[in-house]
Amino acid sequence: MLQIAVTGKPNVGKSSFFNSATLSEAEVANYPFTTIDANAAIAYVTAKCPCSELDVSCNPRTGKCEDGIRYIPVELIDVAGLVPGAHEGKGLGNKFLDDLSQARALIHIIDASGGTDEEGNPCEIGSHDPLDDVNFLKHEVTMWVYSILERNWPRLIRKVMSEHLNFAKVIADQLSGAGVFLDDVIEAERIMDDDYDKWEKDDILRFLDKLLELAKPIIIVANKIDTPQAEENINRLKQKYEKVIPTSAESELALVNATKAGLIKYKSGDDYFEIIDEENLSQKQKMALEYIDSNVLKKYGSTGIQETINTAVYDVLEEIVVYPVEDEHKYSDQKGNILPDALLIPKGSNPRDLAYCIHTDIGEGFTHAIDARKNMRISSEQELKQSDIISIISNK
């Protein structure tokens, strides 16, 4: 399952973000995942489910479908203990970096209120500039990978040169434990000269910076937007960085909890909620909800939590959702479950790639694919689109 890490300095709202994004897990008990660690849980990327357009009632095997919105599971990991200098052993040191190994993208939470200092201690709101917090994560991750390569570098390069080995393949092998893939190494290598034996430390770091932009892309999340100090900081962050997602994890947590308690009706990602049990709301709760409504939802369009997950999956990792079915007429599997699976696959995938995603055997026995909406055979090389419903025909 696609894994995304939630990281940032202490006190910026990581746990609040993680909890609010994963709180609905218990309600989706049909998910067959039992051995997740304490710091890992399921969050959901959302997609418009084809069930409403086709006027059928779907039976998701994992996740859920509510009001025509499909919730597709991804794994979030809460990576705590990160402070500047972690690669040198500060904070919890290198442990957190190992937690990043399998993550495909990093959600970097910063405190946009300016109420968390350099080391992650609470400070007077507005007294720390959150722009100073953005770059250190990239540096820590680069230095982590550098420490993996550093010891072996002279030996590896000697080997590449003397045995005429493929540099990218040798590096990808070395970094496979850190979740770095060959394609990323090949791409990062393009910005460099190929006289690897002359690379100095700065050259290796420049190469790794590029490599990690590809292998561990970072999504900047500016949290605590409910505080008045955040607005100006967010504007400055947006001027400097291409994509910054404003969030209020605490507001999302409050809204999700109020929904669970049956007090309001709210869907993550929405810019509104509806009070359904006013009698049981205390004055304090009412005021808190009003505050969230005007200072977060109306002002920013949402709490930003769902937007962060969707941005990570669709925009940064460039995945699409497709629905494989066995019966292209009923959009179902053999047991009659309608649209049972919503699969995340890389943009650019074709039906043959999809077959391999379902099962290696199915991929190996692939004969052709049918677009179930059009009831038409499609080429095995045709690029699949978001929301395609595909029946894979395989002789295995």
Binding site residues, ligand GTP, CB under 6 A? 8, 10-16, 80, 223-224, 226-227, 248-251
* Among candidate residues 58, 148, 140, 43, the one with its CA nearest the CA of residue 92: 140
CB of 69 to ligand GTP, least distance (A): 24
Give the whole-angstrom CA distance, residue 97 versus residue 100.
5
CB of 226 to ligand GTP, least distance (A): 5
Rounded to 5 degrees, φ, ψ at 101 are -50, -50
Query: For residues 10 and 63, which CB has a smaller minimum distance to ligand GTP in the complex?
Result: 10
Q: Report CA-CA distances (Å) from 67 to 6, 16, 48, 72, 84.
A: 28, 26, 9, 14, 44
* Among candidate residues 135, 118, 136, the one with its CA nearest the CA of residue 127: 118
CB of 27 to ligand GTP, least distance (A): 22
What is the DSSP code (8-state) at residue 216? S
Query: For residues 251 and 306, which CB has a smaller minimum distance to ligand GTP in the complex?
Result: 251
Query: For residues 226 and 388, which CB has a smaller minimum distance to ligand GTP in the complex?
Result: 226
Query: For residues 91 and 324, which CB has a smaller minimum distance to ligand GTP in the complex?
Result: 91
For the chain, the straight-line distance linking the first and the last C-alpha, in angstroms and rounded, comes to 24
List, in order, residues 6 or more apart from 286 with CB less than 8 Å away.
none
* Among candidate residues 123, 125, 171, the one with its CA nearest the CA of residue 148: 171
CB of 14 to ligand GTP, least distance (A): 3
Query: For residues 141 and 339, which CB has a smaller minimum distance to ligand GTP in the complex?
Result: 141
CB of 123 to ligand GTP, least distance (A): 12
Residues in the chain: 396
With contact defined as beta carbons under 8 Å apart, do 338 and 59 qualify? yes
Query: For residues 149 and 288, which CB has a smaller minimum distance to ligand GTP in the complex?
Result: 288
- Is beta strand 376-378 parallel, antiparallel or unpaired with respect to 366-371? antiparallel
CB of 5 to ligand GTP, least distance (A): 13
